[in-house]
Amino acid sequence: MTLRTVDAAERRARLADRHLLAPSRRAATAEDVAEALVALHATDAATVYLTALARLAEPATAEVERALYDDRTLVRMHGMRQTLFVFPADLASVVQASITRELWAKERANLMKSARDAGLDETWLDRVETETLAEVRRRGTATGAELGKAVPGLRDKVLYGKGTKWETWQPASARVLRVLGFDGAVTRGRPVGSWLSSQHRWEPGAGHTEMPVAEAQAQLARRWLRTFGPATEADLKWWTGWKVTDARRALKAIAAVEVALHEGVGWLLPDDLEPAGRLGSTTTTEPWAALLPGLDPTAMGWQSREWYLPEALRPQLFDRAGNVGPTVWWNGEVIGGWAQRADGTIATRVLRDVGSDAVKAVGVEAQRWEGLLGETRVTPRFRVPLERELSGG
């Protein structure tokens, strides 16, 4: 049987709709954005807000704060590749069962090893976890520093990397709270400071519904493929951090259908096989430009990126660890980068010959971002060469 071919143009056309990037597809709520993208990168606190602002019809940081901290319809937790994300609340238990529970076991075992290397006995971690959780519940919300003062065991030091060149003594507090966060016993609440701050208060966790791992993996794969499909097995493995056998089993469980991509065999959901519209067709939205922040879920959604991000642009747009910086998009392709300068202006650079319409549209988007950010100054946590150059820093 000949597989249906999905070319790069069709894949790019899907981004306008599935990733809420065309102006006519922008969302009404922060929940809509998270639902569409499955997960918002949260390693850099600003990314969560900027990702949403790029896709909201009426962008406001207060809308994101409402969903995160008032209505609690969005949840911040560790997930894929041991990275911090923001998920729709109804997806939290799926992520916990399919990914984070295994990470928690490894994280806790590593902490216990560091504790033993520091001369602490086997009961130490149980006791400190119990006391810390009790203190968080008693207070309702607390910073790590406040908890450290109230729970003596959090002030104990553990030995990290014993016998290696990285050997160092560390206070236990951050690692204990990290383990409790992986477990879902505590959760990150409001930031200490503005929405740009990566320091958060700790609050009691809502817990997670137990479910079989294979079922959870199938659910997560289905949600991801709806947004990021067509995609390869390697893309799914990379995005989730699963073993290849897990990715393969999940694709089989959701009856994913093979299609032909430039890089090899890809997959689509069985009810998502109709060709996406292309520019110039009657089913496609208007041409669109977008300025997306560093670590945006669209730029970081696949392991194989050549169909939307030319290899020649990578050295200027990525750091050495593989983190993408702020990107400029035109009709589903990365064409350059951008940065905010100290005076608040948005500087852009188009790195490809894409025509005057694209350059004009990018300029309009830059002006929109100047208005959105106003007096706020945002410096990406992971800085890349082009962003540094454009920002002057």
Helices 233-240 & 213-228, crossing angle to 10 degrees?
120
- The tokens describing 195, both together, are 């929405």
Instruction: Report the distance separating Cα 181 and Cα 78, nearest Å.
Output: 8
Beta strands 264-268; 257-261: pairing state: antiparallel
Closest to 388 measured CA to CA, from 57, 231, 380: 380
CATH 2.60.98 fits 91-204, yes or no: no
The order of strands in the sheet holding 40-41 is 40-41, 84-88, 74-78
Which residues are CB-neighbours of 315 under 8 A, at least 6 positions away? 385
What is the end-to-end Cα distance of the chain in Å, rounded?
55
Closest to 1 measured CA to CA, from 262, 252, 254, 257: 257
Amino acid at 20: L
**Does a cis peptide bond (omega within 30 degrees of 0) precede residue 230?**
yes
Angle among Cα 158, 101, 231 to the nearest 5 degrees reads 120
- The tokens describing 234, both together, are 């390697």
Instruction: Report the distance separating Cα 297 and Cα 265, nearest Å.
Output: 23
Domain boundaries, the chain: 91-204, 309-391
Rg (CA), the chain: 22
Instruction: Report the distance separating Cα 169 and Cα 176, nearest Å.
Output: 14
User: What does the DSSP 8-state code read for residue 5?
Assistant: B
Exposed/middle/buried for 88, CB within 10 Å: 0-12, 13-18, 19+? buried
Walk along the chain (393 residues) and give the pLDDT tens digit of each residue. Answer: 689 999 999 999 999 999 999 999 999 999 999 999 999 999 999 999 999 999 999 999 999 999 999 999 999 999 999 999 999 999 999 999 999 999 999 999 999 999 999 999 989 999 999 999 999 999 999 999 999 999 999 999 999 899 899 999 999 999 999 999 999 999 999 999 999 999 999 999 988 999 999 999 999 999 999 999 999 999 999 999 999 999 999 999 999 999 999 999 999 999 999 887 654 443 456 899 999 999 999 999 999 999 999 999 999 999 999 999 999 999 999 999 999 999 999 999 999 999 999 999 999 999 999 999 999 999 999 999 999 999 997
Q: What does the longest C-alpha to C-alpha distance in the chain come to?
A: 69
Listing DSSP states for 64-113 in one string gives HHIIIIIS--EEEEE-GGG-EEEEEGGGHHHHIIIIIHHHHHHHHHHHHH
21 close to 290: Cβ distance less than 8 angstroms:
yes
